[in-house]
Structure 1
Amino acid sequence: MGGLVSEISITQDKAASSRADRASSFELADLPVPTGREEDWRFTPIERVRDLFDPATYGGTVLPTVEGPDAVTVEEVERGDERLGRVQAPGDRTSVVAWNTFERACVLTVPRGAQVDEPIYVRYAGAQRGAPQASHLVIDVAADASAQIILEHTGSLVMNGTVEVNVGENASLELVSLQEWDAEAVHACAHRMNIGGGAKLKHVVVTLGGETVRLTPDVNFVGEGAEVEMLGLYFTDTDQHHEHRLYVDHDLRNCRSRVTYKGALQGQRAHAVWIGDVLIGSGAFGTDSYELNRNLVLNEGAKADSVPNLEIENGDIEGAGHASATGRFDDEQLFYLMSRGMDESTARKLVVHGFFAELIHQIEIPHVEQRLLDAVDAELEAGGNL
């Protein structure tokens, strides 16, 4: 994208020099209430999410509605069900509180060998902000199965949740999480994902609404030869805080990861945060990894923080790299298009569509692609950029 200035940032956490050393636990006491000075929390507006840190403030559990073919099994289960808590342990205060607070969970199972051709919709909706609500969702795609699952978040809630994802051997899953909340919603969610041998996961995050959204997708390879593609799109508006913290743990041979996140920002105090942590372990020979984040700042008063981190513990890899770029709207591109007869509104729309287009088309769900382009236009119009 013309006009973007490339910059690569590398940070070190004094308390935990390696991403692998950071605490994870199912016990509340092991992950204390943050002060905002911790590496995991230094970009987060603590005052906006403080209620999420205390289980006593919660008002219950929110469960989704699920729409999908008969081949898929959907169950509501008690928190003691043995299928819960099998995908890694919580890695920060909000996720450990979510684990200790939910009362019932939703378990979605795609059976072994099933080829589910139509999308499965998992919908969370809220009518009013109110007290924090916990949520817990398990997605289990068994060996040799394939599915496409769309998580939709709309309305207004204060919601703190967990999505556990198991992708079995040689299975394929495309998981799309749409955050289209109303302006006052607050949403924290940990996506913890295990990928089996030879399996493929496409993980897509789209964040367009909500006062404060903090998502933490963690990927763990549990079988050799697995692949993950992580795509993200966010449009952060006035007074919104959108934070995406990714962790890809390469600990096995011949696994591949690709991460591409793009965001646009407009309006006063619009704040977007992207953290991309990739760890390539000492035994992860043949790893192929790359991560990219780009931010387009449309006007004054908006701020983007972007930090790619890459740790490599062995020299026998196929490739690894990362990049981050943040820049202002390119007035030269705008001038060029207008000099060819376009009005300013159409020219601005074309530039922003061009910024997002490649990523949106990779979602490969036609009605979702058009829905996102329409949502981007609505954001531009609301911000006075059309």
Structure 2
Amino acid sequence: MNPEKCEYIVRPSRLQGKVKVSGAKNSALRLLAASLLTDEKIELTNYPANLLDAQIHVGMLEALGKKCVVEDEKITIYEEKAPLKILNWNKRSIRNTLLILGALVSRIGEAKVPLPGGCNLGERKFDLHEMLLRNMGAKVWIEDNMLCAKAENGLKGADIFLPIRSTGATENSMICGSLAEGITRVWNPHIQPEILDLARFLNEMGAKIEIFGQEHIKITGVKKLFGTRHSVIADNIEAVTWLIASVITGGDIEIIDFPFKDVEVTLIHLRQSGAKYYLGDNSLIVRGGTPYPVEISTGPYPEIKSDVQPLFAVYGACAKGSSKIVDLRFPGRYCYTSELAKMGLQYNINGNILEIIGGNPLNGAQVRALDLRAGIALALAGLVAKGETRILDAWQIERGYDNFVEKLISLGGNIRYG
């Protein structure tokens, strides 16, 4: 697939059948970065091998000297020699280069990586990553579009005070602290499922990480980390995507490996807003339902994730009445509405409040996926719009959804590549 020419063509569909949730993008990428902390073999199962961002990350590991073998839903990472200090990479970057930087500095004392990429969500700076590296004794600077760091005497344990609950800074603190000398404490961390998965993974490698709720994380540095075999947690955003897709299309689907505990607040909001679902042993059965208007705000876990709010916008568009969305994580993250408007969405933005005027028919149109979550919102809208929806830059969706087209077709979705 040529990403620059990747298009989806979507037509109205009613979803039926079974679908399995893949391993979480936001966990798998962190685990890949953390694999740089050891020279021993790492195996990840339930691994979302077809994610474009995962493939980019594997390419980066290989550019640093790692050997990666991908088989179905498993990746095995080997090392034959110490990783390089400089990540020379002239392809699309991802935000995870910040964690690669932390892992390399933690293990070999210095590194240079490309400036981070990822979704353009406005103010997503990396000042907290610079701060934590400096607090732990590293020098940090930018040189020729590369983010550079060096700790001549190795990283030292420190108290890291996060002014906001930053996911990335919490992750990097754990990665850097695992091999640092002494004790690192992270205050006001962002504790969420992917953070807990990373902590479990690092502890399986021999790290000493203790989590004290949302108050702080204690990391006692060790001399060496070891190889391990670890199963990636299920992707809670993908799970919610299939749930919402089923409700708005009047579908009847069973979502296998549904991560109930990770999306409890989201499930409550959807049930109160007309979704009908039933809990199985490890699956969620979504059967019927009628979308009602929603009023949600995003926030740190366990609140609704910012990545999910574009899906709620489509849900609100299918409901008769006014829905309101407030994104407290990334204020103003509503750029996707201009693309949905091409399909007939009526909306107002007042400050950081997005109002969706629902109940109006959506019509197929040519639209563009401005980022990953904007793209999936357009795909869901295409399932309920009259006529054909053509989504340009659909590669954005494949950055974060494993085998999306194949899964949607298996559920009866009318979708194909353009």
User: 1 or 2, which has the higher helix percentage?
Assistant: 2
Q: TM-score, normalised by structure 1?
A: 0.31
User: 1 or 2, which has the higher strand percentage?
Assistant: 1
Rg comparison, structure with higher value: 2
